[in-house]
Amino acid sequence: MVRTRFAPSPTGYLHIGGARTALFSWAYARKHGGKFILRIEDTDLERSTESSVQAILDAMRWLGLDWDEGPFFQMQRLGRYKEVAEKLIAQGKAYRCWASKEDLDAMRERQRERGEKPRYDGRWRPERAKAAGLVPPADRAPVVRFRNPDEGDIVFHDLVKGSITVANAELDDLVLLRADGVPTYNFGVVVDDLDMNITHVIRGDDHVNNTPRQVNIFQALGAELPKFAHVPMILGADGERLSKRHGAVSVMQYEEDGYLPEALVNYLARLGWSHGDEEMFTVEQFLEWFDLAHISRSAAQFNPEKLRWLNHQYLRQRPDADLAKLVAPRIERAGGKLAGGPEPLRVVALLKERSETLAALAGEAMMFYAEPGAARSAVTAEVRPALAEVAAAFSALGDWRAEAIMSAIQAVIDKHKLKLPKLAMPLRMIVFGRTQTPNLGPVLALAGKKRVLERLQEHLAA
């Protein structure tokens, strides 16, 4: 059975790159009827926080990326890492090292002076320590280091990048367990992937350089390698690594900004993967089409404008009743009073073609649910008599529909020899508190006769 995993570190929020990795891992498991495991790599004790864990879980749920097992936490598995490290020590494949930070700094400095690559020199390998007469200091806890093979190559096949070969001579003896018993990244992931029977490791290609070390640890444990697939980095439009200045905020910021989860999932799916020229597709279609063979080897480019366009397409397709439920709380949070305005469903139907996000839709809808504020500066002496006649004409209307409203306005315009904008702008300001709205007839009809007349009369009486 296919078993994939997503293993974020809870040192911040879930960002676009991590969400895309989670999506690909989830999709591969779902497509093949397998299991998707969520693991929290919380060994960075200084930076890991409960709030970050919760933010990651919230983002996964919002995106619809459900997990079958977990979340598992590395800090709850310290005994297991110690057990595996002791097994490697007993087999001569790992050893304890008492080198201090000062020892290591001095070692690297001498190597740099000789023009060599700074690396651990293996001085606490048992045979070398014995030959050099090194004695373990009583006042210092050791780390556990992996005894990396001195010769040969590490060869593994990456399902995205193809065959990768690294010489063992390039690698030093990495630390497996720190002095406090906490595993390093490369050791923790191998033990976890083994214990959780992970068959496919799908992750960002910033981890490619870690993979040869992990392959050696897998082999030292006599384990079968999982299949690796390293997905391309995501860059900003300027070709630099994606960061906040490119709009790469946390996943839940997109929710706050009014993006729909299905739009973000669709967009993430197209970052580094494609199915022909398909731009828009459902999650069901994505799961049917998804494969690792069509993941690009080259970096993907994040385009906020494309994401907004895609979100607008999904927003337009959503039933008005759904959108009304999503927009109503946003209106109330902004201070709008739903009880005093038209039915949100009708407002959404009128405005959604103009709005790229739920936040923009709620902002537009506020014209129906908030007080318009002062509009005196928008009304000139030339227009004031015409506005009074519009109010009288509106009061006499028995048919409060867009066509009848516009006919009444047109009659006043013709009588006073005005152009429509001369009257339309102050009307919008008085009733809605803004100079731009959709077509005047439909928005006035939706605002309701009582509300429109009250605001007009209140203004004219001032």
Residue 374 confidence (pLDDT): 61
**Topology, domain 383-461:** Arc Repressor Mutant, subunit A (1.10.10)
Q: Which CATH architecture has domain 3-71+185-234?
A: 3-Layer(aba) Sandwich (3.40)
At residue 248, what are phi and psi to the nearest 5 degrees?
A: -85, 70
Give pLDDT tens digits for 211-249. 999 999 999 999 999 999 999 999 988 888 887 677 667
Residue 378 confidence (pLDDT): 61
Q: Is 35 a catalytic residue?
A: no
Q: Measured between alpha carbons, how far apart are the two ends of the chain, in Å?
A: 76
Residue 236 confidence (pLDDT): 86
Q: What angle do CA 397, 403, 408 make, to 5 degrees?
A: 45
At residue 13, what are phi and psi to the nearest 5 degrees?
A: -85, 170
Residue 323 confidence (pLDDT): 97
Q: Environment class of residue 70 by beta-carbon count within 10 Å: exposed (0-12), middle (13-18) or buried (19+)? A: middle
51, 67, 49, 64: which is closest to 7 by C-alpha?
67
Residue from 87, 244, 325, 337 carrying the catalytic annotation: 244
Distances (CA, A) of 251 to 15, 56, 57, 268: 6, 9, 11, 11
**Topology, domain 251-315:** Glutamyl-tRNA Synthetase; domain 2 (1.10.1160)
Q: What angle do CA 286, 287, 293 make, to 5 degrees?
A: 85
Going from N- to C-terminal start, the domains of the chain cover 3-71+185-234, 79-177, 251-315, 318-368, 383-461
User: Within the chain, which residues score under 70 in pLDDT?
Assistant: 244, 247-248, 374-379
Residue 192 confidence (pLDDT): 98
54 Cβ contact list (under 8 Å, min separation 6): none
Give pLDDT tens digits for 59-81. 999 999 999 999 999 999 999 99
Q: pTM for this one?
A: 0.92
CATH superfamily of 79-177: Glutamyl-tRNA Synthetase; Domain 3 (3.90.800.10)
Distance CA 66, CA 28 (A): 13
**Contact by Cβ (8 Å): 301, 274:** no
Residue 126 confidence (pLDDT): 98
Residue 242 confidence (pLDDT): 81
Residue 44 confidence (pLDDT): 92
Residue 376 confidence (pLDDT): 54
